């Protein structure tokens, strides 16, 4: 009788949702991320028997059962949460749409309407994935996402290399609110795989499988 091969159980850290960068106490810059991809990944990882910590930016989604949930509102909160969890994880999947810029200053009081133009000054945020890519001391597996509206493979491959990732999942803006969409997946040592019409649940299951069977 063949011996059953036990699949490794990993500590998987997943981020989800769009961060909010506050301008004043009631206004913020954000993006159209629903958080569905990250939540689907958390569910797929739990289903595959892994231990899951989900760092979630605000979403309207029901938290997956059996995942440990940490909440993060801003990109700074998300960076702090990833930084404190990263040393304990075997794999980080950055599915969150982290804002690339944040206001230079958050006003203490609500900005009053004026007659003229209002100019906001923005500063780049910490690239969490790039930080993780340069701190993979324990050999963590790093998975990133790339949203590309042109030169998809070329741009995504650049992110894979520059951020020292193990796997990149690329899609187009058409995927943001869609139930199913085209997805391109590439491992650092494997060729592109194109999936023309996958739901977020199917995409999540493939990513989780690829982590243990690259
Ligand atoms: N990411 C991150 N920290 C940021 C911004 C993005 O960790 N401050 C992560 C996202 O979670 C995602 C990947 O990086 O996994 C996306 O890479 P990025 O270079 O930010 O992609 P885009 O925002 O699409 O970049 P660009 O706008 O330059 O194409």
All domains of the chain, ordered by start, with CATH? 11-108+121-212 (3.40.50.10300)
Average pLDDT, the chain: 94
Which member of 11, 31, 155, 164 is catalytic?
A: 31
What's the pLDDT at 187? 97
Ranking 17-21, 42-46, 49-53, 172-176 by mean pLDDT, the lowest is: 172-176
Contact between residue 164 and residue 136 where contact means Cβ atoms under 8 Å apart: yes
Report how far ligand 1's centroid is from the alpha carbon of 110 (Å).
29
- Whether 211 and 167 have beta carbons less than 8 Å apart is answered as yes
The residue nearest atom 17 of ligand 1, judged by CA position, is 146
Residues having CB within 6 Å of any atom of ligand 1:
75, 94, 96, 98, 100, 125-129, 144-147, 159
Provide the whole-model pTM: 0.95
Backbone angles phi, psi at 21, to 5 degrees: -115, 110
Span from the CA of 127 to the centroid of ligand 1 (angstroms): 7
Q: Positive or negative CA dihedral for 96, 61, 196, 141?
A: positive
Residue of 54, 72, 146, 168 best suited for mutating to test ligand 1, as the one with most atoms within 8 Å of CB: 146
More confident residue, 213 or 136: 136
- Nearest Cα neighbor of 121 from 139, 99, 106 is 106
The per-residue pLDDT for range 45-98, each reduced to its tens digit, is: 999 999 999 999 999 999 999 999 999 999 999 999 999 999 999 999 999 999
- The continuous run of DSSP H or E covering 5 comes out as none
214 band by pLDDT with thresholds 50, 70 and 90: confident
Q: 186 near 193, Cβ under 8 Å?
A: yes
To the query of whether residue 31 is one of the catalytic residues in this protein, the response is yes
Phi and psi angles of residue 15, each rounded to the nearest 5 degrees, phi first: -110, 150
């Amino acid at each position: 009788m063949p011996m059953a091969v036990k699949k490794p159980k990993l500590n998987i850290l997943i981020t989800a949702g769009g961060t909010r960068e506050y301008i004043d106490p009631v206004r913020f810059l954000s993006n159209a991320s629903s958080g569905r991809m990250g939540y689907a990944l958390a569910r797929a990882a739990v289903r595959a028997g892994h231990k899951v910590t989900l760092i979630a930016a605000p979403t309207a989604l029901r938290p997956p059962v059996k995942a440990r949930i940490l909440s993060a509102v801003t990109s700074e909160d998300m960076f702090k949460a990833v930084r404190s969890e990263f040393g304990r994880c075997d794999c980080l999947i950055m599915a969150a749409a982290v804002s690339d810029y944040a206001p230079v200053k958050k006003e203490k009081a609500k900005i009053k309407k004026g007659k003229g133009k209002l100019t906001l000054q923005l500063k780049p945020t910490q690239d969490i994935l790039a930080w993780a890519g340069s701190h993979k001391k324990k050999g963590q597996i790093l998975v990133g996402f790339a949203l590309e509206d042109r030169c998809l493979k070329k741009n995504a491959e650049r992110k894979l290399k520059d951020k020292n990732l193990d796997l990149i999942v690329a899609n187009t803006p058409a995927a943001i609110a869609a139930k199913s969409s085209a997805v391109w997946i590439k491992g650092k040592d494997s060729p592109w795989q194109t999936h023309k019409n996958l739901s977020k649940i199917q995409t999540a299951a493939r990513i989780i499988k690829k982590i243990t069977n690259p």
